[in-house]
Amino acid sequence: MRRICFIVLLAVSFAAPVFAGQDKADKTFGSANKHLYGQVESAPGDDAVVSPTGDNPAVTETDAPSPGQVAGATDDEHYIQQDDFFFSTEPLGQSSWIYVKLAKMVTPPTSATKNEAEFYQITDGNKIWTKHYWTTRRTDKGDLKLGTVVVAFDKQGEKEIYVAPDSKEEGRGGSWFMAKITDLSDLYKGYVTVSGNYKVSLGNLRVKK
């Protein structure tokens, strides 16, 4: 009888650390599955939670940024992003000014496309091919010269001076135009005159990079 009790106690003592070690291993793999595959850890004693549709919440290729997008893109003071382009179907040329549209490049130019690039328009979602496109930045003091080509937001403020957008919705959904600086005599008033005889605030000027 004593021998039987001793054997039972020995078996229990041996099994305890095994089960404890197994429990620790299960928790470790459970955490790994959650991190790597998006699987939900079940509560102790419960069955694993399974999506009713069988879908796995893990990241897939469709979560990757599409062409023309920059992960974590940020806006500048005009709500323009680093990978934004302004484009037109025609060059400025001898025109006083032209409208330009905000877009993302989806197909870079190559010799096979006659050096045209394909763009996705921000305002309407249409795609277009053109070779007239520009990346821009905010102007600084050194850019303020006669003949400098600038891009400005198409909104008039007080005294018919074109001013910068007030919001992201306005800046990315409104109209922009391209012109040349023709008069710097009103710099002290905070604006320049561009071709077409339009007054543009110094805070509403962008230049080509």
CB atoms within 10 A of CB 1: 5
- Cα–Cα distance between 75 and 81 in angstroms, integer? 5
Q: Over the stretch 188-209, which tens digit does the pLDDT of each residue have?
A: 999 999 999 999 999 999 999 9
**Comparing C-alpha atoms, which of 137, 10, 144, 13 is closest to residue 80?**
137
Q: What is the pLDDT of residue 30?
A: 44
Three-state SS for 87? strand
**Mean pLDDT over residues 70-96, rounded?**
91
Read off φ and ψ for residue 132, nearest 5 degrees.
-105, 95
Model confidence at 86, in pLDDT bands (50, 70, 90)? very high
Q: What is the pLDDT of residue 89?
A: 96
**Mean pLDDT over residues 83-88, rounded?**
98
Flag whether pLDDT at 151 surpasses 70.
yes
State pTM to two decimals.
Answer: 0.66
**Mean pLDDT over residues 79-90, rounded?**
97
Q: Over the stretch 96-150, which tens digit does the pLDDT of each residue have?
A: 999 999 999 999 999 999 999 999 999 999 999 999 999 999 999 999 999 999 9
- Cα–Cα distance between 191 and 144 in angstroms, integer? 10
Beta bridge partners, 134, equal 86
Model confidence at 9, in pLDDT bands (50, 70, 90)? very low
- Cα–Cα distance between 92 and 180 in angstroms, integer? 9
Of the two residues 188 and 22, the one the predictor is more confident about is 188
Flag whether pLDDT at 32 surpasses 50.
no
Q: Over the stretch 37-78, which tens digit does the pLDDT of each residue have?
A: 333 333 333 433 333 333 333 332 333 334 444 545 799 999
State both tokens at 146.
Answer: 């006669």
- Cα–Cα distance between 104 and 120 in angstroms, integer? 5
Cβ atoms of 154 and 144 within 8 Å: the answer is: no
Three-state SS for 172? helix
Flag whether pLDDT at 79 surpasses 60.
yes
